[in-house]
Structure 1
Amino acid sequence: MKRDKWTQYRILRKGPSLAKRLPKTRLLQKNNFTKMLNQYQSVVVKPRDGRYGRDILFIHRNGAKSIRIQHEDHVTAMKDTNQLLQLFHNKNKVHGYIVQRRLQLAQVQDRPFDIRIMVQRQKNPSSPWNVTGSYAKVAEQGYYVTNVTSRTIPVLKALKLAHIGGRSLLVKAERIALLAAKRLGEHYPKLRQVGFDIGIDRKRRIWIIEGNYKPDLRPFRHVQDSSMYRRILWYKEH
């Protein structure tokens, strides 16, 4: 299974109840990029095969004459989109990126967070998908990506600190992750685990940011509920 955010987006988008849960995404091309930046004012540029939040750019249009770019905790300004696209051309990576509408994620103490929801199924191809664990990833001070995280905390604690909801919101997010896993599982019959990054915006709307086919399991060791980690390992074996 190839890690490709664009392919995954196109698979998920065909699920009727999932399409509205995906932030609008396009391949990075000049007209797509310009159109989306004009439409949304803030976009995210990501490598199609990226992992651990590397090489992600957050781009914001300040009026007609200036673009603000944040990479990790570094901020630069450019005059226009041509200057920025030239960067990707120079790296020969222009087709290896996607551009995505930027979500205004809910925040904990002025830092954006998202939720990792682990969904697994047993080796038997007809076995159902189950949510086996979750935690919230809070971005480090000065960062937008939650992969550079100062801490992982229980989801319900994050929702409470962000004043956006409680258990019913988590249950809804888990249901969306299960639907997305089923959709991907139809396409990849051997797929047995997906770690979904689920975003909740400031209006309590739930979004699928992406699904990871080889998610890092280490953070689950540090979650207060140790049964989560045991359950995840059990599913990996069975």
Structure 2
Amino acid sequence: MLFQRDKWLQYRTLQSVPLLAERLPETQLLEKESLTNMLLHYPGLVLKPCNGSYGRDIVFIERQRSNTYRIQNENHTITLLNTDQLLDWLDKSYKDRTYVVQQRLHLARIRNKPFDLRIMVQRKKEAPSKWKVTGAYAKVASRGYLVTNVASRTLPALKALQLARVGGRTLLVQAERTALLAAKQLAEHNPDLRQVGFDIGIDQKARIWIIEGNYRPDLRPFRHLKDSSMYRRILWYQKH
């Protein structure tokens, strides 16, 4: 069964739970007023298509000391001189799609490359069935990219946290519990939901953030991990 891939709908669903709301970066539908307000509150923003794009068409906006704006899409950057130029550029470039504007997270880094965690949670077909964490790994961004969808490599989740010096097993367990709680909340609105691949960010202060949940996550990276048990477990849950 296909589920609606709408980042704005998912954000509002998760935001209704206080324990999850504090794990969500502030997010608004992209409009002139919302963008202007967010620019006043945050030095960095991210624009994402509501309907998902596998990491493509994501735009990073960084306000610089001279009040100019550095714009990055994939590994391409431009500089705009003021807010009016920024709004005009966005209107010309993205007016035909619905976007959300989101507080930019300063993710923990490994060798100066940001990474996040993919945490896979699943449940069996019979009801009621408990959600289980069936796998996790870290996605490290390629050089010059800010999105981890363009990954230079995948690492075991615990190893990534240790390499970034932000935490260890306790932090990983907390991230997994966050993913489980988020899956339960999404399932309240999608009773047939049986799997979610969550992108979980860990910032440079070791704070856990829910970036988004993917209903049709790419399983190929699990096959590249030395520990093949996670991939086998995920396939078992998909069948049962």
TM over 0.5: yes
1:19 corresponds to which of 18, 21, 31? 21
- How much identity, in percent, do the aligned residues show? 62
Does the aligned pair in 1 maintain the 2:75–2:145 contact within 8 Å?
yes
Task: Work out the CA distance in 1 between the residues paired with 2:226 and 2:53.
Answer: 26
Supply the distance in 1 between the matched residues of 2:41 and 2:14 (Cα, whole angstroms).
23
How far apart are 1:225 and its partner, in Å?
A: 1.1
Structure 1 segments (4+ residues) deviating >6 Å: none
1:143 and 1:76 map into 2 onto residues whose CA distance is 14
* Residues 13-53 of structure 1: CA deviation (Å, up to 9, x unaligned): 00121000000000101111111112111000111112320
Mapped partners of 1:73, 1:103: distance in 2: 18
Where does the alignment leave 5 or more consecutive residues of structure 2 unmatched?
A: none
Task: Give the Cα–Cα distance (whole angstroms) in 2 for the partners of residues 110 and 233 of structure 1.
Answer: 34
Q: Match for residue 70 of structure 2?
A: 68
State the match for 2:216 in structure 1: 214
> How many residues of Structure 1 are paired with residues of Structure 2 in the alignment?
238
Q: Distance in 2 between matches of 1:67 and 1:155?
A: 34
Residue of structure 2 equivalent to 1:99: 101
Q: How does 1:132-151 map onto structure 2 within 5 Å?
A: 132-151=134-153
Q: Are 1:127 and 2:125 matched, yes or no?
A: no
Match of 2:237? 235
Change (3 A) 1:123 1:55: same
Partners in 2 of 1:206 and 1:55 — Cα distance?
Answer: 25
Secondary structure of the corresponding residue to residue 175 of structure 1: helix
For residues 58-109 of structure 1, what are the alpha-carbon distances to aligned partners after superposition, in whole Å with 9 as ceiling and x for unaligned?
Answer: 1011146411101111110012233333334335636600000000100000
Matches within 5 A, 1:200-211: 200-211=202-213
Question: Is the contact made by 1:69 and 1:75 (CA closer than 8 Å) also made in structure 2?
Answer: yes
Q: Which runs of 5+ in 1 are unaligned?
A: none
Q: Which residue of 1 aligns with 2:46?
A: 44
SS in 1 for 2:19: coil
Distance 2:10 2:206 in 1: 24
Q: For residues 165-191 of structure 1, what are the alpha-carbon distances to aligned partners after superposition, in whole Å with 9 as ceiling and x for unaligned? A: 111110000000000000001110011
The question of 1:159 aligning with 2:158 is answered no
The aligned amino acid for 1:201 is: D
Match of 2:113 in 1: 111
Match of 1:186 in 2: 188
Residue type of the alignment partner of 2:88: Q
- Aligned equivalents of 2:184, 2:144: Cα separation in 1: 36
- What do you get for the CA RMSD once the two structures are aligned? 1.3
Q: Secondary structure at the match of 1:180?
A: helix
Structure 1 CA distance for aligned equivalents of residues 57 and 86 of structure 2: 14
Provide the rounded CA distance (Å) in 2 between the counterparts of 1:37 and 1:229.
41
Q: Structure 2-normalised TM-score?
A: 0.96
Matched with 1:175 is 177
Q: Which amino acid aligns with 1:141?
A: R
- Matched residue, 2:88: 86
